Structures are given as C-alpha cells and as structure tokens.
C-alpha cells in the first residue's frame, strides 16, 4: 500500500477546547485551539460568559447607584474603575474636586494598582508552572492592602467609596501611618518576587521570547497598559493626559523593548516600584481639608452632554463614555475595557507557539473577564 | 543555577518569617469599625422600638431592590397614650441578603439613622442551606441591635476629619 503525501507524516489538526471553567483561563473564558501536535495553529476565543449588562443596568440607576456596578466591572482594581466613572460624572456636572480628595484618590488608586499587579504575579506564576509559592506570596501582600481598604471603605473588594465630587467619607485618622506600614509590607513583597522569579533560570526559559508582539502590531490591536509598554510604546494615560495630581509627583513610565511575556512581567514589576514611589510622595503631601465640594446637591443631576474620560487602570486604558440628556441618570454608558482590546492580540501572539506557552501568553496579558464581558 | 539558588534563598527567608495566617473558624480577625457586612435595623433602647418609621427611603434608593418595607400607625404614639414620638412605625421589613450588594446607600439615605451595616462577624457568617432563609424579616433584622450586640458606625457623608 502506498500513501501519497507531501509530508512524511500528515496528521489531522486537533481541536482542543480550553475553558470556560478552567484555572488557566482566569475566569470564564473559552478558547478553542487548533493544535498540530503540540503547536497552536489557530485560536478561536469565545467571550460573553460573564456578560451581565452592567452598562445597560447603569442607565436605570442614578449616578450614586451606578458606582456599585462599576466596582463589579473591574473587580481586581475596583478603585480605578470607580475613578473613571466618577471623573466622567464630574466632568459632566462640572464639579470641582477638593485637593485632599484628589490626593486620597491617587493613593487609593495606586494601592489598588499594586494589589492588582500582585494578583497578576501570583496567577502568572501558576500559569508558568511555579505552582503555589508566588501565588501565596502575592496573597500575603495583597491582604495587607485589602485590609487597609477595609479600614477605609468598609469592604474588601467592592469599595463604593469614591463619589462624584470627592469621597463618600473621610479616611480614618491613622490613615497615613497605616499606609506606610502597608507600603513596607509591599516593598518586601516586591523584593520577594524579584528574588523568586526575575533571575530564576527556569522562569526565564519559560517566558523569554514567548508571545512576541511588535510595537506596530500592538498599536494596531489597540492594546494599552503594561502589555503595550512591554513592546516599547511609552503609552501611559497618566503621562499623556494627566488627571488627579500625576503631574505633581515624580515617577517614570516603565517600558521594555522585547515585547515578549518576560518583558510584560518586568514591566509590571517595575510599575509596582513606581506605584510605591507615587504613594509615598502623595502621603508626604496629604493635608487636611475638605473632601467634598461645598454645596453638593442631595441628588446629583447633570446637564445634557457627552464626555469620554480615560484613566490608566492596571490593565490599561479604562475609559468611560457617558451621555446625559439631563436628569439624574446616564442616558448611555459605555465602558472601554482595556482587557477586551488586549485579548484580541491573543491569537496573534500565540499562533506558532506550544500549547503550554499559549496559556502563559493568556496569563501575561492579565485579563479580568468581568471587564471583558461587562 | 545562580538564579535558582537565589529563588531558594528567598523561599528560605520567607520560611523563617512568622506566619501571617489565622486558624480561621477558631480565631477571628478583629474587624474594623467601618466593616460592611449586611444591613440591619437599629433598636431604640430608650423607647423599646425600632428607629425605623418605614419611610421607604432606603427601599427607593436600593440599586438592587432587595428591600420590602411596610409601615403602620404606631400603637405606642403619645396621641394614643404611649411614650413614642414616632407617629408611624415599621410594620414589616424584609431584606433579601442574597440580593444585597452591600453598597451602603441605604445607610446614607436614611433620615433617622435607623439602618446600619453590620460590622460584626455575625453579619459575615450567614451561610444557610436554603436561599429562602436569606430573606430576613423584621425580627431577625432588629434582634442583634435589640440585644445590644452591635456598636454601629453610621458614616457622616462628605465631612472631613477634624485635625
């Protein structure tokens, strides 16, 4: 019998289903991989498992009620999501936020960035195969930050603490001392991660040169956040369109040129150090004062108009597009999710890699599925 | 190999640090004053009735519509020989804890400081076998405050710290 074939062995491609409920997909994300042996030929992603209609729900809520839904949009960095929303409402209602409220917001947002990046470090460690150790280390420092948030806002994940105009209530009196304590713990945690992973030959072998994306491609995909900065594009909304007080503190935009998974890891590690620096400067400059503008109406109403506000969330540009036709609730709310755009590049980055590496690539863009689906 | 040795050294140094975990069901973490578990109704110990007058403010402000409020004439009002100044009082009150998203808005809109978020562990450990058991009625909502088992924290909105 003669088998006529161009190749020595011609095998059929296999369709491999990953998810939606699988630890490596970071939530309920499903992808169907077309694999040729161990090599990924194609990826078909399926999203929408966590779609809750949060944008539509917000249209039926007044501006204060909507904050709770923004928390749930981006649950690992709820302060950042809240910030975009309240800033959009403030821009529409033309509210002037007092200085103290702005400094406190900045501290909270940067601490939330730290906790989110710590979560990335832990989950990414598991993806790479360093099972357990970094995950538990990350939990430890994240717990310190979350405990601090609990003392301030009362809740551990869904803070509902920022309000259009300022803050819901003032921080506790020992806030600065507790923040410094937390930063000491976080600095130790960053040093631990650095020692554990950065120079570890196994980790480097697993991540270097994997999931490359060039700067031009990253821009084409509309990526943002650490994922694009790792490709050498110094895009950071905090620097491009400074909001809060980012112009008044000294910090650097961390970029790497390699554009691979390892660069994305280093980028986040560097960003954590920058966040610590920012929080320290904010704590030095925090002064007593008002936290809400005088004469806040009991029920906030906005004039007709539309506004797009973007802020730099841990995963990239978190934008809120808000249309008002007057009244106390939005006419239309659209959330521009950084994760959704970053996720589009998954196929581009993983095709031609091994199956195990595709999982690392997915982990390296650090998706939160509730933000992707909303 | 040096990198791996350094990793091992990090693990060893962490191993020598004191533990950060607690033996949870036996040891509880002390909760901060502002901790938000689920909302409950407060009890006016002086007159021995709930503060709540059933004004529906929280019911209307709740984003997830987890509350049901019914009011009645206060049988203890001064006009009928009682010692209470509340003309109306809460008759029936249900909060569906399974729906509540703990956003604190009901506490903020209450004009009588009659509702507060539970800041004790009993508010967190509410697991039940049947989802229907999470719908709390008036008796369940007021009992903890009636017993004096809560030191509530009602936020003062928008007010800055004195310094």
Whether the predicted pLDDT of A18 surpasses 80 = yes
Given CB atoms, is B117 within the 8 Å cutoff of chain A? yes
Residue pLDDT, tens place only, A286-303: 888 888 888 777 788 888
Q: How many CB pairs under 8 A join A and B?
A: 97
Domains, chain B, ordered by start: 31-146 (3.30.70.3270)
Residue pLDDT, tens place only, A210-228: 888 888 988 998 888 888 9
Whether the predicted pLDDT of B101 surpasses 50 = yes
Residue pLDDT, tens place only, A213-268: 888 988 998 888 888 988 888 888 888 888 888 888 888 888 888 888 899 999 99
Cross-chain residue pair B35–A154, CB shorter than 8 Å: yes
B11 → chain A, closest CA residue: A196
Question: Which of these, B75, B66, B61, lies nearest to B134 by C-alpha position?
Answer: B66
DSSP, collapsed to helix, strand or coil, labels residue B70 as strand
Instruction: Compare CB distances from A173 to B4, B7, B161 and report the shortest one's residue.
Output: B161
Q: Sign of the CA dihedral A103, A104, A109, A113? A: positive
Q: What are phi and psi of B42, to 5 degrees?
A: -95, 155
Instruction: State residue B118's pLDDT score.
Output: 87
Burial of A332 (0-12, 13-18, 19+ CB in 10 A): middle
Return the axis-axis angle of helices A99-128 and A175-193, rounded to nearest 10°.
Answer: 30
Least confident of A63-72, B99-108, B148-157: B148-157
B109 → chain A, closest CA residue: A298
Instruction: Decide: A32 and A46 in contact? Cβ < 8 Å.
Output: yes
Average pLDDT over residues A120-149: 85
Given CB atoms, is B109 within the 8 Å cutoff of chain A? no
A332-336 and B135-136 beta bridge pairing: unpaired
CA distance A148 to A104: 13
Question: Which of these, A151, A81, A72, lies nearest to A113 by C-alpha position?
Answer: A81
CA distance B108 to B154: 8
A316-324 and A39-46 beta bridge pairing: unpaired
The alpha carbon of residue B38 is apart from the nearest alpha carbon of chain A, in Å, by: 11
Tokens 């399974």: give the residue.
Answer: B98
Q: What are phi and psi of A293, to 5 degrees?
A: -65, 150
User: For all residues of chain A together, what is the average pLDDT?
Assistant: 86
Instruction: Decide: B115 and B58 in contact? Cβ < 8 Å.
Output: yes
Residue pLDDT, tens place only, B21-51: 888 889 888 888 888 888 888 888 888 888 8
In the structure, what pLDDT confidence band is assigned to residue B163 with cuts at 50, 70 and 90? Answer: very low
Q: What percent of chain A has pLDDT over 90?
A: 14
A105, two tokens: 């917001």
Question: Which of these, A271, A232, A254, A222, lies nearest to A120 by C-alpha position?
Answer: A271
Interface test with chain A among B5, B6, B7, by most A beta carbons within 10 Å: B7
Cross-chain residue pair B2–A67, CB shorter than 8 Å: no
Instruction: State residue B109's pLDDT score.
Output: 87
Length of chain B: 163
The alpha carbon of residue A201 is apart from the nearest alpha carbon of chain B, in Å, by: 6
- CB count in 10 Å sphere of residue A60: 11
Average pLDDT over residues A199-208: 85
Tokens 């369940």: give the residue.
Answer: B140
Residue pLDDT, tens place only, A315-325: 888 989 999 98
Whether the predicted pLDDT of A304 surpasses 60 = yes
Domains, chain A, ordered by start: 14-373 (1.10.645.10)
A21-22 and B39-41 beta bridge pairing: unpaired
DSSP, collapsed to helix, strand or coil, labels residue B68 as strand
The alpha carbon of residue A151 is apart from the nearest alpha carbon of chain B, in Å, by: 5
Instruction: State residue B1's pLDDT score.
Output: 79
Give the C-alpha distances (Å, rounded to integers) separating A240 from A27, A81, A253.
Answer: 31, 19, 11
CA distance A46 to A30: 5
In angstroms and rounded to an integer, the radius of gyration of the C-alpha atoms of chain B is 22
CA distance B154 to A359: 47
CA distance A87 to A163: 9
A368, two tokens: 């939160």
Instruction: Compare CB distances from A154 to B1, B11, B36 and report the shortest one's residue.
Output: B36
Instruction: Decide: A138 and A189 in contact? Cβ < 8 Å.
Output: yes
């Amino acid at each position: 019998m003669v088998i006529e074939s161009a190749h020595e062995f011609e095998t059929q491609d296999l369709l491999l289903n990953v998810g939606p409920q699988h630890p490596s997909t970071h939530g309920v994300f499903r992808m169907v991989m077309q694999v040729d042996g161990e090599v990924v030929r194609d990826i078909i992603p399926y999203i929408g498992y966590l779609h809750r209609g949060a944008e539509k729900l917000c249209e039926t809520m007044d501006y204060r009620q909507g904050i709770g839904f923004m928390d749930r949009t981006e649950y690992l960095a709820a302060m950042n999501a809240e910030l975009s929303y309240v800033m959009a409402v403030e821009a529409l209602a033309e509210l002037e936020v007092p200085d103290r409220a702005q400094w406190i917001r900045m501290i909270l947002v940067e601490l939330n960035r730290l906790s989110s990046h710590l979560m990335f470090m832990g989950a990414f460690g598991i993806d790479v195969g360093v099972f357990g150790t970094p995950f538990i280390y990350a939990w430890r420092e994240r717990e310190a930050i979350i405990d601090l948030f609990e003392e301030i806002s009362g809740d551990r994940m869904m803070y509902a603490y920022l309000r259009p105009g300022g803050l819901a209530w003032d921080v506790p009196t020992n806030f600065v001392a507790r923040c410094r304590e937390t930063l000491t713990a976080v600095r130790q945690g960053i040093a631990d991660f650095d020692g554990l992973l950065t120079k570890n030959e196994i980790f480097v072998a697993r991540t270097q040169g994997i999931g490359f994306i060039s700067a031009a491609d990253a821009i084409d995909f509309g990526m943002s956040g650490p994922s694009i900065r790792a490709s050498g594009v110094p895009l950071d909304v905090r620097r491009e369109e400074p909001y809060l007080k980012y112009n008044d503190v000294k910090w650097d935009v961390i970029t790497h040129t390699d554009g691979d998974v390892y660069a994305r890891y280093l980028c986040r590690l560097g960003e954590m150090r920058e966040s610590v620096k920012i929080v320290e400067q904010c704590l030095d400059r925090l002064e007593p004062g008002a936290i809400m503008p005088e004469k806040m109406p009991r029920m906030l109403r906005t004039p007709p108009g539309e506004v797009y506000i973007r802020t730099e969330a841990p995963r990239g540009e978190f934008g809120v597009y808000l249309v008002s036709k007057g009244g106390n609730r939005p006419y239309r709310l659209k959330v521009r999710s950084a994760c959704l755009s970053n996720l589009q590049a998954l196929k581009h980055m993983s095709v031609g890699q091994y199956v195990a590496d595709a999982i690392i690539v997915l982990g390296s863009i650090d998706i939160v599925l509730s933000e992707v689906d909303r | 190999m040096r990198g791996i040795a350094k990793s091992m050294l990090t693990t060893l140094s962490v191993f020598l640090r004191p533990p950060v975990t607690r033996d949870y069901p036996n040891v509880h973490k002390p909760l901060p004053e502002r901790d938000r578990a689920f909302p409950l109704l407060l009890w006016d110990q002086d007159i021995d009735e709930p503060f709540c007058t059933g004004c529906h403010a929280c019911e209307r402000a709740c984003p997830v519509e987890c509350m049901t409020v019914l009011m009645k004439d206060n049988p203890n009002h001064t006009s009928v020989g009682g010692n209470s100044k509340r003309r109306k009082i809460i008759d029936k009150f249900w909060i569906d804890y399974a729906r509540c998203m703990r956003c604190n808005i009901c506490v903020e809109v209450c004009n009588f400081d009659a509702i507060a978020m539970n800041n004790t562990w009993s508010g967190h450990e509410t697991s039940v076998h049947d989802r229907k058991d999470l719908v709390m009625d008036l008796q369940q909502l007021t009992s903890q405050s009636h017993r004096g088992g809560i030191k509530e924290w009602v936020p003062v909105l928008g007010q800055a710290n004195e310094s």
